[in-house]
Amino acid sequence: MLRALLTDIDGTLTDPTRRINLGAIEAIRSLVDQGIEVVLASGNVTCVMDGICRMIGTNGTLIAENGGVFRIGYTGTPHIFGDQAVCRRALAVVQAHYRTKGVELQLYSPTYRSSDLAFARTVPTDEVRTILADHPVQVIDTGYAIHLQVPGINKGTALVALAADMHLVPSDFLAIGDSTNDLQMLETAGIGVTVANAHPNIKAVAQYVAEKEYGDGFVEAIKKYEPYFRARKRSTTI
């Protein structure tokens, strides 16, 4: 039986323009109303995800910054992994490289990030990887931004730590995602599912690939697996 849902946001709950699918919101609310834990996972920062969680109607448990941060509920203490100082040094190298070409990187929410750093996909990801080949960082292209994170941190490692704090195990989770930064999450969860627009590497590890794309594919997946969910008594810490 499944006890919780862990889902990516961009490209999974949304359409190509990043509008959240209304059917996906209804599907999530249905699970929440049944007492199923729903966890949102994203490369975005915690404060942005707080707003998304509130509007959708989850209990506020989340994984942010591609696994660099997780938190139980809205009032829980954020758990931060990684070493942002390493990322800052790497970012400075990338910025210096592109400034010599007259290019200024557009940073995404640097003030609010605790673990990784992110900037717009206005430069080639592979070129960034070449520039940082001698630096102890991983370069993650989510399809929406380029992130710099120390190695060994991803949504899958965050799921392991999160599950323990929720008094669950990773196999209790259904995970749904679409991009390469969701790969470890799908591999770690009890069941990994993806949508039709997903990256081929994600489809290769998913146990089910929805016939539909984006948010419609998410709704399709929830309808398929909803009978396998079982609610549990909610912890007072969540």
List, by residue number, the catalytic residues.
Answer: 8
Helix, strand, or coil here: 51?
A: helix
| Among the listed residues 185, 96, 105, the one whose alpha carbon sits nearest the alpha carbon of residue 147 | 105
- 164 burial type by CB count under 10 A (0-12 exposed, 13-18 middle, 19+ buried): exposed
| Among the listed residues 82, 91, 90, the one whose alpha carbon sits nearest the alpha carbon of residue 136 | 90
* H helix count then E strand count, the chain: 8, 11
* CB neighbour list of residue 144: distance below 8 Å, 6 or more residues apart: 10, 11, 18, 43, 121
Cα separation of 97 and 91, whole Å? 10
And the tokens for 127?
Answer: 């070129």
The pairing of beta strand 79-80 with beta strand 62-64 = unpaired
Q: What is the CA radius of gyration of the chain?
A: 17
Residue in the block written with tokens 């190298």: 93
Secondary element (H or E) of residue 146: strand 146-149
